[in-house]
Amino acid sequence: MRREFVLPENDVDFLDNSGYKWETITDKGMQWVIIHDYTVASGYHQQTVNIAIKIDTGYPRAQLDMAYFFPPLQRLDGKSINATCPQIIDGISFQRWSRHRTPQNPWREDVDDLSTHVSLICFWFEQEFIKKPNEITT
């Protein structure tokens, strides 16, 4: 796995201790963390995806935002996932989910980091089915 830039020590500890396969890459001047084979919540065609997270200049003071998935996620019930678009990262077409923190859940410097952002991504997976309930019957 590539390590093209250095993450803060607490992020490296989180990624390593979680057992993730991960890398850091620089693509077209942008820095990305890519977590490989991440297990997705049920309700999607994909069981695992690669997650790309953009590391903006100023991180960890600057917030992490959005998430990018490969392969693109699709719901089992065929409903569309809103606010997505393609984003080429390292020559691969990821699916960008335009999801953001809210005034009720702002970025907290010295508290939030990659681990809390990954937790937020998990929430977004579940929130998708709260906003548009799954109509597949079992």
- Separation in Å, CA 90 to CA 8, 36, 116: 22, 14, 25
pLDDT at 135: 62
- The length of the chain is 138
* Coil, helix or strand at residue 25: strand
> Rounded to an integer, what is the distance from CA 124 to the centroid of its chain?
9
pLDDT at 136: 56
**119 within 8 A of 108, measured Cβ to Cβ:** no
pLDDT digits (tens, 9 = 90+) for 79-94: 999 999 999 999 999 9
Which H or E run contains 61? none
Q: Is the model's pLDDT at 110 over the cut of 60?
A: yes
If one compares 137 and 50, the residue with the highest pLDDT of the two is: 50
Instruction: Walk across the sheet containing 92-97 and list its strands.
Output: 21-27, 30-39, 48-55, 67-70, 92-97, 84-89
pLDDT digits (tens, 9 = 90+) for 50-81: 999 999 999 999 999 999 999 999 999 999 99
Q: Is the model's pLDDT at 132 over the cut of 60?
A: yes
pLDDT at 122: 95
pLDDT at 134: 74
Q: How confident is the model at residue 138 (pLDDT cuts 50, 70, 90)?
A: very low
pLDDT digits (tens, 9 = 90+) for 18-43: 999 999 999 999 999 999 999 999 99
What ranges do the domains of the chain cover?
A: 9-131
